[in-house]
Amino acid sequence: MKDFAVRLIRWHQRHGRHDLPWQNTTDSYRIWLSEVMLQQTQVATVIPYYRRFLERFPQLADLAAAPVDEVMALWSGLGYYARARNLHAAARAVMAQHNGIFPRDPDVIARLPGIGRSTANSIATFCFGAHAPILDGNVKRVLCRAFGIEGFPGSGTVQKRLWALAEELMPKRHAAIYNQAQMDLGAMVCTRSKPRCESCPLDDICVARATGRTAELPQAKPRREIPQRHATLLVLLDGDRVLLETRPPSGIWGGLLSLPELPDGADVQQWSEQRFACRVIAVTCPRSGSPGTQSEPAPTLVHAFSHFRLHITPLLLQVTRGHAAMEPGWQWLDLAEAGNAALPAPIRRILDTLQTSGSKPLLSRKR
Ligand code: SF4
């Protein structure tokens, strides 16, 4: 398709996005930050996080010098927390290995933590005028539809084919505008559901449109049953203070603060008293607010991760603390302060609900 790039570049001039907060700059730190935040996340969600991040860490060196907890706290609510840990690690790597200067070569950029080939190419194109194709989710969707490419785009063979096609389509000039145009077309016109083909610059040459297959392409990931996991989380309250624990660095919510998790089969009162050197005064079943038994099923909060669903059952424990030494990673925080900590979204929701409903919790919202 000879004029593919020309069509996109022309379309972008009139209809593309030109005023996003990370556009109209070639500052590698700002563009890199936006690229990482935009992975798996929509523009409207990213904008306030991006602004807050830059206010607190105006330069790459500020980010590298910050404690990781502070970075996680600012990222809190944006999800996919490995991105924040990798961002911080990459900032430190740039300081340590590249004298604080962001590398220009896409292959070198791609070796930094959390940056894949497409993100590296995108940064190199927007910041340094490189001539490098991109292949994010939006671009894959446009290419699969426009060229009628079968198969799940995440599979190795289809990816390989898409990269070859992306290389082939890359225009000799205006690489940055072309890459932005592809992203914008995927986000604004060739959307996942209900693409607006009548407004698309490819409408007369698109295979999916011509064959009525826009709903089938790109092909979905072969279905697998989503694993279901269950966790009982303990809201230990001593007056207005709640106990939070730092999660291990790897695994879900790695490095964030969370509520302690009751091991499978453990007696809630006995385990909590031993583990946290406290005396449990009451255990409350969330919906009823009734003390004691857990004889009625407690409501759960369902949180969807990319590869499983977590059913969270919160239990409220009123406790009095002993004088045992605190373990590293434990924090007793005022409920009112806890909202500023680095919390995963479901934990924040539990604590918010607790705060607004006093000690008569809690929640039954599913998502
Ligand atoms: S014509 Fe429709 S399906 Fe084809 S690329 Fe454009 S918006 Fe997507």
Which 3 state secondary structure label does DSSP give 337? helix
What's the Rg (C-alpha) of the chain? 24
Give the Å distance between the CA of 206 and the centre of ligand 1.
Answer: 6
Q: Is the CB of 146 under 6 A from ligand 1?
A: yes
Q: What is the mean pLDDT of the chain?
A: 90
Rounded to whole angstroms, the Cα distance separating 356 from 342 reads 20
Site to probe by mutation for ligand 1, drawn from 4, 7, 138, 142 as the one with most ligand atoms within 8 Å of Cβ, is 142
Active-site annotation, residues: 35
pLDDT band of 298, cuts 50, 70, 90: low
pLDDT digits (tens, 9 = 90+) for 72-119: 999 998 988 999 999 999 999 999 999 999 999 999 999 999 999 999
Q: Which residue has the tokens 């205006």?
A: 174
Going from the Cα of 56 to the center of ligand 1, the distance in angstroms, rounded, reads 40
Q: Is 145 in the pocket of ligand 1 (CB under 6 A)?
A: yes
Mutate to test the pocket of ligand 1, among 4, 141, 190 (most ligand atoms within 8 A of CB): 190
In single-letter form, the type of residue at position 34 comes to: S
pLDDT of residue 362: 44
- C-beta of 208 in contact with ligand 1 (< 6 A): yes
One-character DSSP codes across 83-113: HHHHHHHHHHHHHHHSTT----SHHHHTTST
**CA 216 / ligand 1 centre spacing (Å):** 12
What φ, ψ does residue 62 adopt, rounded to 5°? -65, -40
N- to C-terminal Cα distance for the chain? 43
- Distance separating alpha carbons of residues 270 and 353, to the nearest angstrom: 26
Whether residue 361 is predicted with pLDDT greater than 80 in this model: the reply is: no
Instruction: Write the CA distances from 236 to 4, 243, 338, 352, integer angstroms.
Output: 60, 6, 13, 15
Pairing mode, if any, of strands 261-262 and 257-258?
Answer: unpaired
pLDDT digits (tens, 9 = 90+) for 29-49: 999 999 999 998 999 999 999
Pocket flag, ligand 1, residue 149 (CB < 6 Å) = no
Instruction: Tell which atom from ligand 1 comes closest to the C-alpha of 185.
Output: 7
Helix, strand, coil percentages for the chain (3-state, nearest 5)? 40, 15, 45
Q: Tens digits of per-residue pLDDT, 226-285?
A: 899 999 999 999 988 999 999 988 888 988 999 999 999 899 999 999 888 888 888 876
Number of neighbouring beta carbons within 10 Å of residue 174: 15
Q: Decide if 246 contacts 261 (C-beta within 8 A).
A: no
CB-ligand 1 contact for 201 (6 Å cutoff):
no
Q: Which domains does the chain have, with CATH numbers?
A: 4-210 (1.10.340.30), 228-356 (3.90.79.10)
Between the alpha carbon of residue 121 and those of residues 17, 84, 124, 130, 132, the distances in Å are 19, 20, 5, 8, 5
- The model's pTM is 0.73
